[in-house]
Structure 1
Amino acid sequence: MRLGVTVLYWLRCSCYRVWLRMTNLLPIRDIVPFMKNWSCLITVQEKQQITDSKGTPTKKQQCIFYDAEGSKVEAIIFNDDIPKMSPLLRVYKKYKITNAEVKPIPAKFQTADITIQWVISTKTIIEELNGADNDIMPVNFNYTKFTDLVHHMDDKNKSVDVIGIVMAALGKRTLNRSSKESNVQKFVLLDEESQTVLLSLWDDFLANEGQQLLSNLHSYPVIIVRRIKVNNYKGVALGTWFDFVILVDLPI
């Protein structure tokens, strides 16, 4: 049975690649650095908050795209292009992207499965695929169980993905952090094994993702927290990291 499913998926991917070439489209894996005149059908998997580049006035916003083959690529928008292009990209929506600038990601910023970056600018054509067939496969995540988080406490080089239900929010606090005032609020997450853990959201993350969680708290949203740090604060706790993201009630 498993072999039959594998063969069916391979045939589907092969037909998809043939169709792409017939329609002048390419899958993510065939789009290489500095390539011109290409288009690709993608789904937005993640959309991070706007952040500053360390030591520079540059602002950036990163996204993760994936296609029907399950291939992923990082997309990035800079500075004045952010307010113009970012609203055109919504999480879980499908798009046709044409002629973004394709660059290799510097080695120190690469992950195991993403080594190429698309720079989205006002020269990039973004077309939302309304009513498109659901032929883009959802991407699987590798979650760390709450009971296993203790093995990753205070590892500065390690982040994890977790999934849980937001059960409650504790009171917001204002603290002195790195010689300035910071706001923090903790959220109680519950997993399918009835284990709980606290997730702390600070400052901009609290103002954005935190408010989204608070507004949906009555419905106990299921969230996926990606690239989160595991801290040792009165036991195991989760803390935000510069490129972490929260995905709320995914439609997959």
Structure 2
Amino acid sequence: MAETYKFISDINVRQQKWTSKVIVAEKYVAKTSHNQRTRYQNMVLIDMQGNKVQCALYNYDITAFKNTLIWSNTYLISNATVKFTDPKRVAAIGPIQWTINGKTKVQAVEEDNRAFLFSTYQIVSFAVLHLHMDNYNEIDVLGVVIDVLPKKIVQTKYNNESCIQELVLVNEK
């Protein structure tokens, strides 16, 4: 008998004993929180219906799943902690988010779903890139990196230091 998996949209807060088949669509660099006490790493997971969920790992779980949750790979994830997204978060994907920790079961699936993943991107042309400059909407661009500038340490509005690195991209023109 084939196993049944729930789609992201069918998983609710306080729900238990569920499994979802997802692709790691985005995986961000681990960061330190404003209070300097917690490390976190965000990622975006997508299911085969195109539903997305923001997912977070904290502290030692970042290291524990470092070589497991790889961009564009498919996984069966069971019983992550599901909670409501903080409405103050600018980058929230939807009303819920998952937290993966030591109690979460993560199993790799030997499927190549990259074609599906790439079909979910909506590429913005360089010609209209300036229309997106002063908003917080995420966009997708396609280009070739021709120069990587040196890393710089900058001061954030929370009096933390942050490392940034600028890239020079070109498109087909």
Larger radius of gyration: 1
CA RMSD after TM alignment: 3.0
Question: 1:68 is matched with which residue?
Answer: 48
TM-score by length of 2: 0.81
Q: Does the 8 A contact of 2:74 with 2:112 survive in 1?
A: no
Count of paired positions: 169
- After TM superposition, give the deviation of residue 69 of structure 1 in Å: 0.6
Higher RCO, 1 vs 2 (CA within 8 Å, ≥6 residues apart): 2
- After TM superposition, give the deviation of residue 58 of structure 1 in Å: 1.2
- After TM superposition, give the deviation of residue 111 of structure 1 in Å: 5.3
Q: Percent identity?
A: 30
Q: Secondary structure at the match of 1:87?
A: coil
Question: 1:85 is matched with which residue?
Answer: 65
Question: 1:137 is matched with which residue?
Answer: 116
Structure 1 residues without counterparts, runs of 5 or longer? 1-18, 195-252
Q: Secondary structure at the match of 2:63?
A: helix
Listed one character per residue, the Cα deviations across residues 82-130 of structure 1 (whole Å, up to 9, x for unaligned) are 1112321111111111111111101122657522111100000111012
Q: Does the 8 A contact of 2:90 with 2:136 survive in 1?
A: no
Q: Does the 8 A contact of 1:69 with 1:136 survive in 2?
A: no
- Bigger mean CA deviation after superposition, 138-147 or 47-56: 138-147
Question: 2:27 is matched with which residue?
Answer: 47
Which one of the candidate residues 167, 172, 177 is aligned to 2:146? 167
Q: Secondary structure at the match of 1:162?
A: coil
TM-score by length of 1: 0.58
**Whole-angstrom CA distance in 1 between matches of 2:23 and 2:68:** 13
More helix by share: 1
- After TM superposition, give the deviation of residue 162 of structure 1 in Å: 1.8
Structure 2 residues without counterparts, runs of 5 or longer? none
1:125 aligns with 2:105: yes
Listed one character per residue, the Cα deviations across residues 12-45 of structure 1 (whole Å, up to 9, x for unaligned) are xxxxxxx9xx624211110111211000111111
- Relative to 1, partners in 2 of residues 1:144 and 1:41: Cα closer, same or farther, differing over 3 Å? same
- Written as runs of structure 1 = structure 2, the 5 A alignment for 1:11-30 is 23-30=3-10
Q: Does the 8 A contact of 1:173 with 1:184 survive in 2?
A: yes
- Relative to 1, partners in 2 of residues 1:180 and 1:33: Cα closer, same or farther, differing over 3 Å? closer
- After TM superposition, give the deviation of residue 181 of structure 1 in Å: 8.8
